[in-house]
Structures are given as C-alpha cells and as structure tokens.
Amino acid sequence: MNAWSPDHTAGRHPGPAVRSPGELPDLVHAGMYVVDDHGSIVAVNPRTEFLLGRSADELVGRDAHDLLHRDGLGQSMPRAACPMMHAFLGGSTRGGAHQWFARGDDTLLPVSWLVTPCRLEGGVLGAAVLFYETDPEEGVPSTAASPTLSQLDRLALLAETTTRLTSTLDAEEAVARLVRLVVPRLADWAVVDLITESDDVWRTTVATHHGGAVVRCEELEGPLPPVHEESLMPLSRALRGAASTLAGPQTYQGPPDSGIAVAQQRLFKVTGMHSAAIAPIRGPRAVLGALTLGRNAESAAMTDAELSLLEDIARRAGLALENARLYQRQRHIAETMQRHLLPQLPEVPGLSMAARYVPASRSAQVGGDWYDAFTLADGATAVAIGDVVGHNIDAAAGMAQVRNMLRAYAWALEEPPSAIVERLDQAVVNVTEASMATMIFGRVERNADGWALRWTNAGHPPPLLITHDGRSAFLDDEHDHLLGTGLVRSRTDTRTPLPPLSTLVLYTDGLIESPGHILDRGMARLRQHAAALAHRPLHVFCDLLLERARPAENDDDVALLVLRTPAGEGESAGR
C-alpha cells in the first residue's frame, strides 16, 4: 500500500475525488471517509459531516491527517507519532481509541477508529476510515456494541466481505474467500450449501480451522437431497428463502422430515457443533443457497445479534455469487459462439492438419482470433489465420465477415494470395464491420518438387517452420500492412518450400505476447518449444505447445493452425 507521504501538505490534492456525500453509505452511528494513496479525502458519508461539523466540500480534497488528527490538547501531531498513521503505513485493518479529531468549530471530537485498506476506482490503493464518537474518559463507543463483535469490527467485516467477494468472478474462489472471512473470526465451522442452475442442492464446503488454517471436511461435502417444500427444518426453510434461524443438535433430534434433515443430523454429529446460525444466500433474482456458521461446545452460543450479522454477510455473498454465475454463463455462451464460428479442417491426402482455439481465461467476451483451411477449386489447400482488432461482439461479427469473404474470393478468383488479400482489404474498409485486422493467407500446393506454401502476410506475426531434424525459422522476410488501414500499396507473395515431415505453425499474438516483456522473448520461447516437439504427433504437438509456450500472465485469445507434410521417398514418418 502506498502510505501517506510525510512531505504531503495540507493543500487540496488534485487526485480523483468523489465529492457527493451520497457516494458512501449513511452508517447511522459511524462516520466514514475514504482517502487515496496520498492521504487526501476523496469521499465522506453524511454522518461524517454531522460529527465533524464540516460539509463534504470542506472535507474532500484535504489531507486527513493535517486537517483532523489532534492530540488531547488539540495540537497537531507529527505523522510519526500518530497511531492512525501507523495503521495506514501497516497496510492492514487496525483500530484504536483515545484519538481526537478537529471539528469545524475548533472543538475536539474524541473518537474510536478503525482503518482498513481498500481499492479505489482505477486500481488506486487507498483506505477507508470508520469512527465513532466516544466517551473521552473511557475511549469506548457511546453506542452499545455487540458482546461478541463491536460495531466497528462488524462494519469492518462487512466492508471486507464486500471488497473480497466482489473482486473475483470465480464462484469457487468466492466461496473459499467467504469461508476464510468467517472462520475462525465468527465461528468454528462454516457450511455453504448451493443450489445449482439445474436446481440440485450441493454442499460445496464444510470447513473448520486448525492451527490458524482453514481445513475442509470433504467427507461431509457433496450432493444433498432435494429441498422438501413442506419441511419446517431450518436449512430447508433457508434454501427456500425463508428467514434466518438459530439451530443446534436438538433442532434435528426428532424424526427427520426430509432427506436434508438426515444430512443435518449427520453434520451436527460429525462436526460437534452445539450452536449454529443458518441464513439464506439470496441473489437478485433467486435463492442461491444457504450459509451456516457453527460453534463448538467450548465457544459461546450464536446469538440473535450474530444471526443479524450473518444475514448481512449472506446477502453480500449472494450478490457476489450471482455476478460470478452470470459471468460464467456469459463466458460459456461466448466461448460456444466463438467455437461455432470456427471451421472444421478439411481432409487433404498426405497433409496433416490440427488447430486449436483457446479463449481468454478472464474475458466473458468473444474475440477476433480465427483460423481457416479449405480446399480450393484447383485442388490446392487454402490456409489462413487472423486477428480482428477488439474483444467484443463487433470483433466476432467482423471476424466472421472477413473469413467468409476470404473464402468467397479465394474460391472464385484464380489469383495469387496477395491479390486475394488486397481485394479483401478493400472490402474490410468499405463493406465489413471489422475495423482493422491482421492475417496470413496462403496456398499449400503440391507439385513434382514436393510441397510448398505460397503466401502473403498482412501485418500478422510470422509463421514458424520446423524441419524434421529440429531446425526452425520464422518466415519473416515479407511483412505487409494490415487490413483496414485504407493504404493503397502493393502486397507481396512469398513461396516457401515445405520439406518432408516439416511442421508449419500459424498462430495469433496471444501465444507470444506477454505484458511487460518484449515480443522477441515470446517468439524465442515459441521457437524453442516448437523445435523440441518436432517429432510429436500433431495433436500432441498443439496441446504441448499451448501448455509450454503460451505466457502464463497473458490473458488473450489464441488461435493455432499447424500443418505437417508427409515423409518423402525413403524417409520414415516417425509420427
């Protein structure tokens, strides 16, 4: 975390400021303000304005330490002596009492405070500050707190829950974070039961803690019986969206009224929980499951106050899980759409072909990466790989248009690849929805001298050719302008012989680009791994090349088209 710099002045900071007090919730009894990495206030809630006797306009943009922090005599404190500054510098959630804030009328406000790191818009690190007015002699909040968790601790936990759960779009990771937030802070056990999209009930997590670490009890996890519509037992009611409930082993001592009640009897018996709170996990449109927090006999029983806190946590979990499910649904649709847009490879006697498409791991949008291979009227095999600029539905639509128009031009016109691509370029500018695109288009031809590739490159990463003896080279002699620029310039054709058992690799930039690294590094890695795999069967070659050469830190689509020529006379295929 970038802490507040010691040389920061009390003047207004020009960084991003949320000036509306409505940007932060009204916490009734707690003041709350947010500072950026320079220590300037960027947002306040209405309670802060009331407690400090200052308007939002008087607070936003000011350095919080210089404006507010005082000692017991009302004097400004050095930053090194300020306990709140130590909390900011530590970069973790900390709290304290016996602190004074300067009010707008120059009086002092005794406060109990808590500081927790947060991430602001644009990824900037900052901190949220919660504070209460306290009894100056006791240093405790004037508002009664829960006997187990103070109001500040409760607010901090809810803020942390929101931040942690909404920062991932992976449902499994969201559940894991949820469990780590509540065990052992609130309970000895956490149980998460989720309703799947096919309406099955699945006990996804039963977890406790041991030696400070969260431990799963996997023998209690797995599918549960269907929710019984007439069951009055707490978990069945929660899974139907009914109110939260306190429960214990005695709740399930009688004859079970459903299969879920039988599972609950076993849960309490195996875990040793003597007290539990069960709350529904609700999404915006439906009940997604239930969250159970349980305590062992050595711990105090769950209370109504803690049940209320559990409801707040479960509500936040529901929003996070709903977002994760929506993201996964969109991603699945996008990936399915993308795959259906990609073609089946033709069967060409003597020529082996394989292709792969790998979507971006974190993107829910279709992209513009594509490959194609098809037989031409004269018997040659057309091969193409390309990338339409963008990662959205427009890029996918543009990709489909470019590919289909290329097929039409290549089939109908007996022209060299450069002429075909030049016609396509004019269409991209004037007809299609694609903005710009890169592409390699070529003809794989066979004659008395063997196999050869006649091809042209429109701004795309160069093909890689690996011979059977492991020698490799990028075909980068010719490199013309990409499609869609509007430039009127002649394109070139190149004829490259393809030796027996050689492997030609066509790929998109997601296979070689890596944030923070030069492109040459990715190309060298691709060349090294491709050469090492020269003798592998073609489908194995593709899978291992993606696994080894694709940068782990890159999150871009990858299209891959690989060709291998047959063995010559007197040579063994060795494939």
Confidence band (pLDDT; 50, 70, 90) for 26? low
CA proximity to 252, closest of 282, 230, 226, 232? 232
Alpha-carbon gap, residue 387 to 390, rounded angstroms: 9
The answer to whether position 571 is within a domain reads: no
With 70 as the cut, is the pLDDT of residue 77 above it?
A: yes
Residues 349 and 317 in one domain: no
Residues 228 and 259: beta-carbon distance below 8 Å: yes
Per-residue pLDDT, 247: 93
Q: Between 255 and 342, whose confidence is greater? A: 255
For residue 7, pLDDT over 50 is answered with no
Do residues 490 and 440 share a domain?
yes
The verdict on 46 and 168 lying in the same domain is no
148-185 burial, b for 16+ CB within 10 Å, e for fewer? ebbbbbbbbbbbbbbbbbeebbebeebbbbbbbbbbbe
Better-scored residue on pLDDT, 338 or 67: 67
Beta strands 69-70 and 94-102 are antiparallel
Does residue 139 carry a pLDDT above 50? no
Residue 574 has pLDDT above 70, yes or no: no
User: What's the confidence (pLDDT) of residue 150?
Assistant: 66
- For the record, the structure tokens of 327 come out as 């993201």
Distance spanning both ends of the chain, measured CA to CA: 54
Question: Could you tell me the pLDDT band of residue 23, with boundaries at 50, 70 and 90?
Answer: low
Torsion on CA atoms 485, 491, 497, 502, rounded to nearest 10: 0
Does 398 lie in the same domain as 545?
Answer: yes
Overall domain count for the chain: 3
In a shared domain, residues 177 and 271:
yes
Nearest to 233 by CA among 260, 207, 273, 214: 260
Residue that terminates a domain, selected from 143, 178, 205: 143
Whether residue 527 is contained in a domain is answered as yes
Among residues of the chain, what percentage have pLDDT more than 70? 85
Assess whether pLDDT exceeds 90 at residue 477: no
pLDDT at 455 exceeding the cut of 80: yes
CATH assignment of the domain containing 232: 3.30.450.40
Same domain, 491 and 432: yes
pLDDT (0 to 100) of residue 433: 63
Amino acid sitting at position 312: D
Mean pLDDT for 370-387 is 94
Residue 53 is part of a domain; what is its CATH number?
3.30.450.20
Q: Which of 156, 158, 154 is nearest to 145 (CA)?
A: 154
pLDDT of residue 149: 62
What is the residue range of 180's domain?
163-332
Whether residue 9 is contained in a domain is answered as: no
- Mean pLDDT calculated for residue range 151-168: 82
Among 112, 143, 174, which residue terminates a domain?
Answer: 143
Output Rg (C-alpha) for the chain, integer angstroms: 32
Q: Report the pLDDT value the prediction gives residue 120, as an integer from 0 to 100.
A: 84
14 pLDDT higher than 50 = no
What is the reported pLDDT for 541? 97
Distance of CA 190 to the CA centre of its chain: 24
Overall average pLDDT of the 70-78 stretch: 80
The answer to whether residue 255 is domain-embedded is: yes
Is 381 within the bounds of a domain? Answer: yes
11 pLDDT tier (thresholds 50, 70, 90): very low
Q: Are residues 295 and 181 in the same domain?
A: yes
Q: What is the CATH number of the domain that holds 467?
A: 3.60.40.10
Measured distance CA(37)–CA(5) in Å, rounded: 9
pLDDT band at 237 (very low <50, low <70, confident <90, very high): very high
Tokens of 121: 């818009």
* Domain termination residue (choose one: 309, 332, 355): 332
Question: d(Cα 140, Cα 277) in Å, to the nearest integer?
Answer: 28
Query: CB–CB of 170/326 below 8 Å?
Result: no
Residues 290 and 349 in one domain: no
The answer as to whether 148 is a domain residue is no
- Please write the tens of the pLDDT for every residue from 389-443: 765 566 666 777 888 899 999 999 989 999 999 999 988 887 766 678 899 999 9
Q: Is residue 151 part of a domain?
A: no
Q: Report the pLDDT value the prediction gives residue 12, as an integer from 0 to 100.
A: 36
Residues 6+ apart with CB under 8 A from 19: 43, 56, 57, 60
User: Does one domain contain both 138 and 197?
Assistant: no
Of 7-11, 58-62, 339-343, 527-531, the poorest mean pLDDT is in 7-11
pLDDT, tens digit, for every residue of 479-528?
A: 899 998 888 788 999 999 999 999 999 999 999 988 777 888 999 999 99
pLDDT for res 142: 39
What's the pLDDT band for 381 if we cut at 50, 70, 90? very high
Give the mean model confidence (pLDDT) for residues 174-193. 94
Statement to judge: residues 125 and 206 lie in one domain: no
Within this chain, do residues 388 and 481 fall inside the same structural domain, yes or no?
A: yes
505 and 413 co-located in one domain: yes
Report the distance separating Cα 175 and Cα 262, nearest Å.
24
* 1 found inside a domain: no
pLDDT mean across residues, the chain: 84
Residue 148 has pLDDT above 60, yes or no: no
